[in-house]
């Protein structure tokens, strides 16, 4: 019996527990996922665990175990950034309604406000363009960035895309098997992997804005951020099927501050924008998404798609304590967009990586 198989057999009892429909403790889940990420070279165990956990329903302790396993295997970035000035706007992805790259565009607005955005990024699985595709359109390839380049961009520009497995040798196998399952085999199902894979960051931060593809998991995710010790987080889902704040219909929000979690709903009016129609914000395909992305950051697009970016950037400013209300955050984000400040950050990032022709 080879070493990998022997190690995988050690988690047999935890697998059996899941298959029987029982929850794992955080410690059990940590050992399970760390073993799988290290020794499951074919991805069979990962697929089985994802299916079993999802079938019975994910718990915050199981998601915490996933996080802890990644944390144990990942490298840390060596920056001197103040964690109170750092945030990530990444979420689960996988929304049923497809729009532009909202959180990525909003991230440039937040960086333009003087904060640092350590942006978890990955390629599209169910949408025309994922966060990594948006960055790649401007010549910034997450698969080719070194740890040192990420550190430099975060420090000097205030934003950089990150896929932690690419800069962490201990997570190389996790990247391989997840790529095999979701990219090569095109397995287009939502899973615990999608729920929590963007929660961990190699850059320390105290604030998060995290969109989810389903209302079902908002409480679980808010509890996870609480257990991880975040000072404040916003976890949200829009009724139209978006893992972002929406300017169409209501958005359900769970706001975690310390050990307190409160739930509320917001409308476009509450956020300071006009109610839009779905056709106003839906994706126009990869090329149109990139064009919209660019025009919004330049301040040349001021319609519903720009509003969508502004309310999500404003939510991050609210989470960071830069403004007192979500509506005030939207107003500040709109001002930054109108001045082209977000595009200036994009120019600085792209030029720093030697790709000015991409602009």
pLDDT at 244: 96
Q: What is the mean pLDDT of the chain?
A: 94
**Who's near 1: CB < 8 A, 6+ residues apart?**
none
Question: Is the confidence at residue 266, as pLDDT, over 90?
Answer: yes
Percentage above 90 pLDDT, the chain: 85
SS3 for 329? Answer: helix
pLDDT at 183: 73
Rounded to an integer, the average pLDDT of 298-318 is: 97
Segment 190-245, tens digit of pLDDT:
778 889 999 999 999 999 999 999 999 999 999 999 999 999 999 999 999 999 99
For residues 62 and 182, the answer to whether their CB atoms sit within 8 Å is: no
Per-residue pLDDT band for 111 (boundaries 50, 70, 90) equals very high
C-alpha span between 151 and 88 (Å, rounded): 15
**What are the structural domains of the chain?**
1-73+168-196 (1.20.970.10), 83-166+202-349 (3.40.1030.10)
pTM of the model: 0.95
Helices vs strands, H then E, count in the chain: 17, 7
Question: Is the confidence at residue 292, as pLDDT, over 80?
Answer: yes
Rounded to an integer, the average pLDDT of 46-74 is: 95
CA dihedral 332, 335, 340, 342 (to 10 degrees): 10
pLDDT at 181: 84
- Tell whether the torsion through CA atoms of 287, 293, 299 and 303 is positive or negative: positive
Rounded to an integer, the average pLDDT of 6-29 is: 96
pLDDT at 185: 73
């Amino acid at each position: 019996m080879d070493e990998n198989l022997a190690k995988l057999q050690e988690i047999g009892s935890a697998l059996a527990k899941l298959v029987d429909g029982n929850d794992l403790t955080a410690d059990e889940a940590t050992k399970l996922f760390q073993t799988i990420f290290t020794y499951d070279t074919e991805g069979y165990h990962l697929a089985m665990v994802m299916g079993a956990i999802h079938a019975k329903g994910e718990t915050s302790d199981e998601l915490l175990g996933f996080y802890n396993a990644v944390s144990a295997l990942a490298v840390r970035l060596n920056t001197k950034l103040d964690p109170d000035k750092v945030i990530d706007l990444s979420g689960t992805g996988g929304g049923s309604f497809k729009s532009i790259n909202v959180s990525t565009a909003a991230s440039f607005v937040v960086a333009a406000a003087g904060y640092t955005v350590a942006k978890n990024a990955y390629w599209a699985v169910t949408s025309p363009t994922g966060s990594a595709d948006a960055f790649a359109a401007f010549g910034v390839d997450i698969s080719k960035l070194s740890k040192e380049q990420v550190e430099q961009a975060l420090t000097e520009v205030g934003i950089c895309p990150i896929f932690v497995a690419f800069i962490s040798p201990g997570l190389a196998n996790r990247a391989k098997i997840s790529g095999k399952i979701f990219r090569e085999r095109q397995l287009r199902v939502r899973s615990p992997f999608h729920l929590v894979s963007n929660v961990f960051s190699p850059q320390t931060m105290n604030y998060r804005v995290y969109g989810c593809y389903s209302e079902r998991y908002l409480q679980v995710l808010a509890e996870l951020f609480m257990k991880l010790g975040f000072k404040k987080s916003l976890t949200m889902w829009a009724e139209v099927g978006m893992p972002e704040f929406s300017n169409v219909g209501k958005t359900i929000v769970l706001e975690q501050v310390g050990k307190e979690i409160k739930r509320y709903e917001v409308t476009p009016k509450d956020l300071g924008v006009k109610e839009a129609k779905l056709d106003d914000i839906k994706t126009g395909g990869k090329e149109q998404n990139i064009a919209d992305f660019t025009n919004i950051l330049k301040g040349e697009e001021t319609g519903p798609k720009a509003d969508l970016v502004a309310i999500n950037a404003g939510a991050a400013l609210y989470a960071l304590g830069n403004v007192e209300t979500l509506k005030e955050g939207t107003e500040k984000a709109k001002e930054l967009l109108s001045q082209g400040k977000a595009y200036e950050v994009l120019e600085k990032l792209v030029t720093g990586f030697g790709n000015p022709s991409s602009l």
